[in-house]
Structures are given as structure tokens and as C-alpha cells.
Amino acid sequence: MSIAEKFLTMEYGPAPEDPKEATAWLERHGRRFGLFIGGAWQPPTSGEYFDTLDPSNGENLAAVAQGGAGDIDAAVRAARAASTEWKALTPHTRARYLYALARLVQKHSRLLAVLETMDNGKPIRESRDIDIPLVARHFYYHAGWAQLFEHEFPEYEPCGVVGQIIPWNFPLLMLAWKIAPALATGNTVVLKPAEFTPLTALAFAELCQEADLPAGVVNIVTGDGSTGEALVKHPGVDKIAFTGSTEVGRAIRSATAASHKRLSLELGGKSPYIVFEDADLDSAVEGLVDGIWFNQGQVCCAGSRLLMQESIAETLISKIRDRMSSLRIGPPLDKAIDIGAIVARVQLDRIQRMVAQGIAEGATCWQPQVVLPARGFYFPPTLLSNVHPTSIVAQQEIFGPVLAAMTFRTPKEAVELANNTAYGLASSVWSENINVALYVAAQLKAGVVWVNCTNLFDAATGFGGYRESGYGREGGREGLLEYVEPRWFKHAETLPAANAPATTQVEEKPDASTPAIDRTVKLYIGGKQARPDSGYSLEVRSPNGRLLGEAPLGNRKDIRNAVEAARKAEAWAKATAHNRAQVLYYCAENLAQREDEITHRLARAVGEKEAEAEVELGIERIFSYAAWADKFDGAVHNPPFRNIAIAMNEPIGTVGVICPKEAPLLGFLSLVMPLLAMGNTVIAVPSESYPLITGDLYQLFDTSDMPGGAINLVTGYASQLLKTLAEHDDVDGLWCYGDEATVAAAKAMSTGNLKQVWTNEGRVIDWFNSKQAEGRWFLEHATQVKNIWVPYGE
Ligand code: NAI
């Protein structure tokens, strides 16, 4: 074609990126890679290798080692051996290593981008301009945290050896999200890349060598799901960080339940993309190009559910189709390509299957007329309209370039539809009315909300999900908390295992000087006293066997009623922080007024001295959380775009609390008050040793303007009530304080709905020591960060 002809048609010519440097790199390694363990390369013990392909043409790129349990063991040992020295380095020295890694990523950025595109199939435009610059940014940002670590986290220690498992959609970026915060906080790492895309992780291992990173600080073990499983199960690992499918996330939750491994999960999503009638429709359409066609839609936070206000639906659909027709699909190394290849044959099959099922369920399918390359794995950009909200394509992650469109009429309906999913990773809201946009943003159950923008990421702005999208955040200050533990907690003793419920223990003869039975308490549900469904009571005895009274034996129906009441009381979350503080202060005031009588009753269970301390410190603890209520607020980040990101500390929602047996009053207040201060509604199971405290507690709440349902009390056997709380889909989080067996059960039972569980790991907490039992550590677990990105400028 002559230049004149080209000028007339304005067709794009091919603009291929030259892969020769990447090919030379592969050749230098003989297209065969071992495992990176203890700073050196070694073959897998099994002697097995698997092929990694270029999905744009199906060609073999290299053979990669299949790591087995023995290799994982060697890597964990290497990481452990390196841990002491790495932890002991000055923060400045660690900062220099991270800084060096950032510089090296920049120095080799083109090689990394080309390798990433060859291994994954994503357009070079994306790997070059988005993935790799963000990788460097993560190492720079965390070099900063390494430098500041001792100042900013003086009471914290690294977890130790961290096992990290990453997916194939952003291979090097996910590595950076995992490795940078782990190293910055003094952990050492064993990382398993995804089997489809191991190459850039192996190139990164070379950068670690180039940076002279001490041997064993970073270990890379390639392999498939079984390699990941061996890492999850290895007893020498202190924490697992995982990104991938919800199904594997569940398997990992279950496999780690009986251990003390910390766990963070970043799972799937079905993120809503909400367009109001007053939105700038052309910008919203352009946003969709990034929202659902970026990386072929293989993005956990892809805006895969388009929710359009009915009045503009037709216009919007027509604009979307026009834009889809100009998307260029083809070989991803071409710099002018918008949509590259799907990562693997199995993923392509999955997309095809789900789209076919969506059509069978009534969706209308539209695809532009495009010619797909003859070789490789490609799927055209696809629009499914008339999608029913319950259809598979509206509910399940497709992980492909497929948009499912639905309509709504009012902002209320938009919020309902948006939240009608088990996930809660991200969302986009498009409206020129900032009041509407922020009002809707506040109601969306998602860790990230992009207002009039989409798919923006930055190291300073945390990323992570609500509900079945997982727990924990990556990036920001909150991301670091996933890799550290309070020093005292890490070294705390383990509680003795409970033999029989303390309530039935008879150790000494009863003391005849006080009357045996003086009161019978009830449950407290929705602000009212309630009889237990079972009609049974528990005898409550002092440690010396004296009968102190009777408490109701709550069962699963009582818990369900309490959950319903807690859900109805969600207005508590919307009360201003000042109002919540006032209610808490009032509780403290009323506890102070009854100090003598409550101390007297409690003394019979725990002794005079402890009872006095519990009540006195209890008043102080409530004061503390009343003080925190309007001070534990969020932050405003300033990412390197024309955006602000408002990081809000939102309540978890409805939280179940299994209180410790010891310190019946102070233990209860130490757990329930931070939750209430942050706007959660609570179903608490008070101390199994002294459930009679419930009577004093509800009198306190009744007289303190606490709204009915914000706090509910169900007494009974923790081991029985725990199950209902853990399995209940309407309970968002579970705090469980008990011995090792109880907390392991809490974690295992919460696997089904991936509930956030926070426990004492069966360790002793000194409730009388405010350095342990009070403060930010509790507040951080009582909240989850939502980041709302808002652009500014013209
Ligand atoms: P996957 O969850 O199986 O793979 C992610 C990582 O976990 C890989 O490194 C894999 O080797 C490892 N893995 C697999 N089984 C494991 C086990 N039992 N224990 C420990 N590690 C294990 O994801 P897959 O099969 O590649 O993709 C399936 C679907 O998952 C996709 O279609 C998509 O819907 C979703 N997905 C979501 C991602 C996200 O970022 N949220 C990323 C990748 C996939």
C-alpha cells in the first residue's frame, strides 16, 4: 500500500515490538529454568518441567521447573535461615535494597514488558505503560516504608516467613504487590508464580541477584496448584498471601484453619459499573474500554456488570457498540492493539462456555465484526444485554472481555443491584452530580469505588475486597498490617485447653455466707430482654462451686433472631461518630453509677480484687473507645494522577463476638466497644464462665440510649453458638477469643462464606494491660478501608 493510499484509508499499519531482547534472554537460559532457592538456581527434585506458551500464537517459550513438596521445604528453610539477618538489618539498609529493586525494574523495564506480553498475551501497550511502571512504583513506595518502619510501627514485628501465591493476569505486578510490602516489613518470602506466566518472576529472581539481595530473602518456586498447596501446608510458613480464584481461596482458608498462619486473600469480583443519566456518556464509554476490555477482561476488579439508568440505556448501548467496533484485536506485541490474547486454551473455553450459558438464559449477545488471528487464543469484545440479575453472567466472574448490561431506574435500585452479589471488590460510578456519586459510593459494598474513572491503581492506595472478594488490603499503610504482628502478641503464651465448661466445675464446698440463687438473666435481642428458644437454663457456678444463678441456654434460633435484629439496626453505622461517642460515654457513666453493685456481683465469680479492677478499667476502656469514635478516621491519598483517593475506615457490618471466658466484664468491653465505636452492630456471646454478666450489661445499654439491635447478647455454650454465627451469611465478621481448638473451629466453620475471622490464636491476652487489650490494633480489625477515587480538574 502506498503512503497516499494509507493516508486515504487512515488504517493502522502493523507496529510490532521487536522481541529479540526477550528471545535472547530466553536463549541465554537455554529456554529452561530451574527454581530460585537460597539465592541460587537449582533443578526440581522431581526432575520434571512444564512448558509455558505464548498464547498469541501457541508457541512454546520455555520449560519451567515443576516444584514439589521437597523443593518447597528447601525454599522455606532458606527463607527461615535468611530471616534473622534480614530482620536485624537497619530499616535504612532494607530500604536501600528495595530502592535498588525499583531502579533495576526501571532499568530492565522494556525486557520485562516484552516478556510479560509474550507469556501472558496482554497488549504491550499495557505491560509497557501500566504493569511495569506500577511494579517500579510499588518498590519505590515500599522502600519508603522500609525506611520509616521503626518509627511508624515501633511495637510491631514481621510475621517471619511468608508464602505467596499469585495468579496469571498481572504476573509481575502481583509479585510486586506481594514481595514489596513483605520485604519492607522484614519478612522473607517464598513465592509461587502462576503456571501460565512464570517468566517475569524468574527474571525478577535475577534482579534480586543483581541487587545483591541476601540469599534466601526471596525464593521463587514455580509449579502448579499442587506446588501452591505444598506451600500452604508447610508448617514453617507464618503467613499466606494469595490472589486468585474464590474456590482456591476457600481451599486455603480451610487448609490453614488449624494453624496460626496469618492469611490474606484477594479473590474474584463481579464489579458494577454504574452509569447515571446525567453522566458524561462519552467518558463513561471510554472508561469501559479500561473497565472491561483492559487485559482482555481478565481483571479481578473488571467493571463486568454495566448498570445503566433506563432513560439513557439505548443511547449508551449504541455508543458502546460504536466504540467496540473500533477496538483493535490482534497480536499483543503490536503497539496499536487494544485487545490481545486470552492467557490459555482452558480460560478461552471457560469464557465461551459462560457466554453460551448466558445466551441460553436469555441474554442478547452482540460482537463487532472482527477477524480473529488464525493462531492463538482470542475472544472478541462482547456485549450481553437484557441480562437478568440472577443469570450466571450477572453473578459469576467470567474473566474475559464480556460485559453484562442491565438497567435500573433510581439510585436506590442501582445500589441494590450493585450490591446483589457475593463479591465486593470494586465499583465505578458515573454521574456529573458529585453529591449523587459520593452518596452512592458510600453505600456500595466494595473495597474500591472509582467516581467518573475506573481501574486506577497506586501503591499508596490500598486495594482489596469486601465479602467473598477476600480480606486484607494490598498497598497503603493498611497493606503493611498484613505482614506484621504486635510484638507482645507474637510471643504471648498459649491458653490452656478447656476441658469442661467452667460453668459446671465444682472445685470447693459452697460458701454458705451468701444466698445461692439471686437472679435469673435473659437474652438481650433487638433492645429487649428475651427468653431463650430452648427453654433451658445454664447453672452458673463460682470457681469454688457456689451456685451463682442461672443464665439462658441460647441456641441457633436465638442467634438468628439476634442477627436479624443487628441487621435492622444498621442505622447505627450511619449515626455520626460524635453521636456514637456520646452513647459510649453514657455507658461509662452508667457503669460508674453502678460500680458497687456490679463489682459485688462479679466478685463472687472472679474475686473481690479482680472484680474491682474489671469495673474500674471497664469504665476507662469505654471512655477510650468513646474518645476513638471520632478520631480513628481515614486519610486522603494523593496518587500520581489528577485524583484524590479518600480512604474511609468503614465498619465491617454485623459482627459476631465470642468473648473470652476470663475477665467476663473487661474482656467483653475490650472487644465489643471498639466494634460499636466504629459503627458495627454486634451479636456477642458473653463469657461462658460467667454469663450472668449479661444482666448487668443490658441494664447498662438500656439506660444509655444504645439503639435497640446495635448490641445483642446471647448466652450459652460458645462451641455451639459459634457454628451458627460462623455459617450465617448475614454475619460479616467473626471475632473469636478462646483456646486453640475453639479458634481453629471458628476459622474452619467460616470457610463457606469466607467470613473475616479475627482471633487471639488461642493465646493469652492480658485484658488488664491497656497496651495489649486496647487501641488501634482492635480498631483496625473493627474496620475495613474503602478507597473512593475522585478525579479533579477539567
Ligand atoms: P487459581 O485460583 O486456580 O490460580 C491462582 C494461583 O493459585 C495459581 O498460582 C495456582 O497455581 C495456585 N493454586 C491452584 N490451586 C491451588 C491450591 N489448591 N493451593 C494453593 N495454590 C493453588 O485460578 P485459575 O484456575 O488460574 O483461574 C480460574 C478462575 O479464577 C479464572 O477464570 C478467574 O475467574 C479466577 N481468577 C481470579 C483472579 C483474581 O485476580 N482474582 C486471578 C486468576 C484467576
Each residue's pLDDT tens digit, 129-140 = 999 999 999 999
pLDDT number for residue 424 = 94
Binned at pLDDT 50, 70 and 90, residue 501 comes out as: very low
Write the pLDDT tens digit of every residue in 213-224: 999 999 999 999
Beta bridge partners of 161: 188
Report, as an integer, the average pLDDT of 2-6. 75
> Strand 40-42 relative to strand 35-37: parallel, antiparallel, unpaired?
antiparallel
Is the pLDDT confidence value at 500 over 90?
no
Q: Check if 736 is active-site.
A: no
Cell of 525: 435481642
> Strand 537-541 relative to strand 528-530: parallel, antiparallel, unpaired?
unpaired
Atom 14, ligand 1: residue with shortest CA distance: 225
Report, as an integer, the average pLDDT of 521-528. 97
- Any ligand 1 atom below 6 A from CB of 268: yes
Report, as an integer, the average pLDDT of 677-695. 97
Spatial separation of the C-alpha atoms in residues 17 and 121, rounded to whole Å: 13
Binned at pLDDT 50, 70 and 90, residue 510 comes out as: very low
How far is residue 724 CA from its own chain's centroid?
23
Is the pLDDT confidence value at 442 over 50?
yes
Eight-class DSSP state of 301: T
Q: Check if 300 is active-site.
A: yes
Report, as an integer, the average pLDDT of 629-643. 92
Cell of 426: 470494586
- CA 232 to ligand 1 center in whole angstroms: 14
Report, as an integer, the average pLDDT of 248-260. 97
Is the pLDDT confidence value at 504 over 70?
no
Is the pLDDT confidence value at 280 over 90?
yes
- Any ligand 1 atom below 6 A from CB of 255: no
Q: Residues 208, 200: contact at Cβ < 8 Å?
A: no
pLDDT number for residue 11 = 77
- CA 345 to ligand 1 center in whole angstroms: 15
Atom 9, ligand 1: residue with shortest CA distance: 194
- Any ligand 1 atom below 6 A from CB of 67: no
Q: Which atom of ligand 1 is nearest to the CA of 232?
A: 20
Least confident of 232-236, 504-508, 756-760: 504-508
Q: Residues 693, 664: contact at Cβ < 8 Å?
A: yes
- Any ligand 1 atom below 6 A from CB of 458: no
Q: Which spans in 632-692 are helix H?
A: 664-677
CA count, 13 A, side-chain hemisphere, 41 = 13
Spatial separation of the C-alpha atoms in residues 190 and 76, rounded to whole Å: 7
Atom 15, ligand 1: residue with shortest CA distance: 225
Binned at pLDDT 50, 70 and 90, residue 4 comes out as: confident
Write the pLDDT tens digit of every residue in 312-369: 999 999 999 999 999 999 999 999 999 999 999 999 999 999 999 999 999 999 999 9
Cell of 731: 454475619
Binned at pLDDT 50, 70 and 90, residue 505 comes out as: very low
pLDDT number for residue 6 = 73
Report, as an integer, the average pLDDT of 45-70. 98
Spatial separation of the C-alpha atoms in residues 522 and 520, rounded to whole Å: 7
Of 190, 199, 248, best ligand 1 pocket probe by most atoms within 8 Å of the beta carbon? 248
Q: Which atom of ligand 1 is nearest to the CA of 168?
A: 43
Q: Residues 128, 454: contact at Cβ < 8 Å?
A: no
Cell of 160: 517471619
How far is residue 223 CA from its own chain's centroid?
25
Q: Which spans in 569-702 are helix H?
A: 571-574, 577-593, 595-606, 608-629, 664-677, 693-702
pLDDT number for residue 1 = 64
Q: Which atom of ligand 1 is nearest to the CA of 223?
A: 11
Report, as an integer, the average pLDDT of 750-775. 96
Please, what is the average pLDDT of the chain? 95
pLDDT number for residue 519 = 67
- Any ligand 1 atom below 6 A from CB of 348: no
Q: Residues 23, 46: contact at Cβ < 8 Å?
A: no
Write the pLDDT tens digit of every residue in 578-627: 999 999 999 999 999 999 999 999 999 999 999 999 999 999 999 999 99
pLDDT number for residue 2 = 74
- CA 227 to ligand 1 center in whole angstroms: 12
Q: Residues 154, 190: contact at Cβ < 8 Å?
A: no
- CA 248 to ligand 1 center in whole angstroms: 6
Spatial separation of the C-alpha atoms in residues 32 and 26, rounded to whole Å: 8
The residue whose grid cell reads 514481595 is 179
- Any ligand 1 atom below 6 A from CB of 399: yes
Atom 24, ligand 1: residue with shortest CA distance: 245
- Any ligand 1 atom below 6 A from CB of 228: yes
Binned at pLDDT 50, 70 and 90, residue 508 comes out as: very low
- Any ligand 1 atom below 6 A from CB of 251: yes
Report, as an integer, the average pLDDT of 141-148. 98
Report, as an integer, the average pLDDT of 468-483. 95
Of 190, 245, 296, best ligand 1 pocket probe by most atoms within 8 Å of the beta carbon? 245
- Any ligand 1 atom below 6 A from CB of 534: no
| Percent of the chain predicted with pLDDT > 70 | 97
pLDDT number for residue 690 = 95
Atom 6, ligand 1: residue with shortest CA distance: 167
- Any ligand 1 atom below 6 A from CB of 224: yes
- CA 653 to ligand 1 center in whole angstroms: 28
Write the pLDDT tens digit of every residue in 225-252: 999 999 999 999 999 999 999 999 999 9
- CA 167 to ligand 1 center in whole angstroms: 6
Sign of CA dihedral 408, 411, 417, 418: positive
- Any ligand 1 atom below 6 A from CB of 431: no
pTM assigned to the model: 0.95
- Collapsing DSSP states into helix, strand and coil, what is residue 685? strand
Spatial separation of the C-alpha atoms in residues 315 and 524, rounded to whole Å: 54
- CA 311 to ligand 1 center in whole angstroms: 39
Is the pLDDT confidence value at 514 over 70?
no
Catalytic residue among 159, 300, 453, 736: 300
Cell of 279: 453522566
Instruction: Count other C-beta atoms under 10 Å from residue 51's C-beta.
Output: 12
Is the pLDDT confidence value at 513 over 60?
no
pLDDT number for residue 518 = 56
Binned at pLDDT 50, 70 and 90, residue 7 comes out as: confident
Q: Which residues of 157-173 are buried (b: 16+ CB within 10 A; e: fewer)?
A: bbbbbbbbbbbbbbbbb
Atom 28, ligand 1: residue with shortest CA distance: 245
Report, as an integer, the average pLDDT of 81-90. 97
pLDDT number for residue 587 = 98
- CA 144 to ligand 1 center in whole angstroms: 31
- Collapsing DSSP states into helix, strand and coil, what is residue 178? helix
| Percent of the chain predicted with pLDDT > 90 | 93
Q: Which spans in 123-218 are helix H?
A: 124-126, 132-152, 171-184, 199-210
- CA 435 to ligand 1 center in whole angstroms: 38
Q: Residues 328, 155: contact at Cβ < 8 Å?
A: no
Length of the chain in terms of residues written: 794
Binned at pLDDT 50, 70 and 90, residue 509 comes out as: very low
Is the pLDDT confidence value at 158 over 50?
yes
pLDDT number for residue 712 = 98
- Any ligand 1 atom below 6 A from CB of 501: no
The CA-based angle 591-597-600, given to 5 degrees, is 120
Catalytic residue among 116, 266, 468, 550: 266
CA distances from 266 to 228, 443, 474, 479, 666 (A): 15, 21, 9, 12, 35
